[in-house]
Amino acid sequence: MKLSKRKEKILKAVVESNLSSGEPISSKAIQKEYLPDVSSATIRNELMSLEELGYLAHIHTSSGRVPTSEGYKKYVQELMPTKKLTTTELATIQSNFTNKLVNLNDIIERSAKTISDVANYASVVYMGASDATIQQIKLVSISARSQLVVVVTDMGAISEMADLGNVSEEDLDEATKIMCKLFVGKPLSALENRGQIVSSELLKYKEIFEKIIDTIISRDDAIKKFRVAGKEKFMEYPEFEDITKLKRAIKLLDNSDELLPVIANDDDIKINIEFGGTAENPDCSIVTATYKLKGDKTFSAGIVGPVRMDYAKAISVLKEVSDKIKDITDKE
C-alpha cells in the first residue's frame, strides 16, 4: 500500500533518527527536527496510523516510537537515499585489493575482513562452485614415508600431506603422469566416482591412488570456501550489551553456512535483506549480496548486524567489494 507523502516523511524521520541514536523518538522531536510546519499533535495522529499499519512500535504507553522490522523494510525499499561511500572508505577498500591476490583463499579472507572493517559489522563471505576443474596434479616427495599432494583446480590449489608409504621417486613421477593424464580437465567430482575408472595403468598404483583420492576428497574446502570476520563488532552496539543476545548473535555466525544464498541465479548482483534475521535471532539483520562469477562460480557476501543497521552503507560496501572481486576474477 502506498503511504501519503507526509506519512512517508514521518516514517523516514523515525527510522533515520533511530538509526543514528538508537533511541525512540517523540512526536515533538520529529516536529522540531524534521517537520516544523505541522504540529506535534498532527504528527501524533500520523504516528498512531503508522503504528496500526505495523511500521512502528511502542515500548510502553509513554515513550517515543521505534521502527519495527517492517518499518525498516519499508524504509529500505522505498525511502532510503542511496549512500555513496566516502573517499576514505573507497580508498580503504581499494588498498585492500591492490596487492596481487591470486589465491582464492586470500581473496575471500580479504573480502570478509574488508567488508567487516568498512561497514563495521560482522561479515561472512562464500565462494563456491558446483564443481571445479582439475588443472594440475603433482606429487612431491618430502621424506621417505610422506608426500605432498598438490591438486590445482580453477577454485585454487589444495595441497595436503599424505602418507603413501615407501614409494620411489620414479614411481611417484610415473604415478603423477598417469593421474594427470586421467584427470586433468576433468571435474573434481570425477575423483569420487573412482569405481568407474578402469585403467590398466592405474592398477599398478591402485593403492597409492586410493590414498591420494581419499586425501583430496576429505578436503571439504576444495570447492566451497567460507570466511567469517569481525564477530567482535557486535560488542560495539548497545543492542548486544546483554550477553545472552551477544551469544545468540555469535552463534548465528558460527553456523554461517546456513546464512548465505549459495546459488546465484542471475548474472547481475542480487541484494537480499532479512530484517530481524531468523526466528531465533530477532535482533540481527542480514544483508547479502550474491552473483555469478566466471566459470559457474558463485560469490556471496553477507553483513550481519543489528536490526538498527546502516543498510545504505552495508549495501554500498557489499556492492563495492563485489565489484572488486569481479574485476579480479574476470582478469584470469
Q: Where are the beta strands (DSSP E) in the chain?
A: 56-58, 65-67, 122-129, 134-143, 146-153, 156-162, 224-229, 270-274, 284-292, 297-306
DSSP state of 4: P
The grid coordinates listed for 115 are: 567488508
* Contacting DNA within 57-76 (CB under 7 A): 58-65
Taking contact as CB under 7 A, which single stretch among the options 26-34, 67-75, 251-259, 263-271 is the one that binds DNA?
26-34
| CB 227, CB 111: distance < 8 Å | yes
Residues 6+ apart with CB under 8 A from 165: 145, 207
For every residue of 150-206, DSSP letters joined together read: EEEETTEEEEEEE---S--HHHHHHHHHHHHHHHTTSBTHHHHTGGG---HHHHHTH
- Separation between Cα atoms, residue 105 and residue 89, nearest integer Å: 23
Give 31 or 69: the residue with its C-beta nearer to DNA: 31
Binding to DNA by residue 308, rule CB under 7 A?
Answer: no
Taking contact as CB under 8 A, which single stretch among the options 81-89, 228-236, 273-281, 320-328 is the one that binds a second copy?
228-236
Question: Which of residues 7, 8, 19, 51 is near DNA by CB under 7 A?
Answer: 51
Taking contact as CB under 7 A, which single stretch among the options 34-42, 81-89, 148-156, 173-181 is the one that binds DNA?
34-42
Residues 6+ apart with CB under 8 A from 200: none
Give 43 or 303: the residue with its C-beta nearer to DNA: 43
Cα Rg of the chain, angstroms: 26
Residue from 84, 99, 75 nearest 14 by CA: 75
Q: How far is the CB of 159 from a second copy (least distance, A)?
A: 4
Binding to a second copy by residue 100, rule CB under 8 A?
Answer: yes
Give 44 or 204: the residue with its C-beta nearer to DNA: 44
Binding to a second copy by residue 143, rule CB under 8 A?
Answer: yes
Question: Which of residues 19, 57, 79, 150 is near a second copy by CB under 8 A?
Answer: 150
Q: Go through the chain and tell me how many residues it has.
A: 332
Q: How far is the CB of 5 from DNA (least distance, A)?
A: 11
Contact positions toward DNA, by CB under 7 A?
26-29, 37-42, 44-45, 47-48, 51, 58-65
Contact positions toward a second copy, by CB under 8 A?
100, 102-103, 135-136, 138, 140-143, 146, 148, 150, 152, 156-157, 159-163, 231-232, 235, 241, 243, 246-247, 250, 332
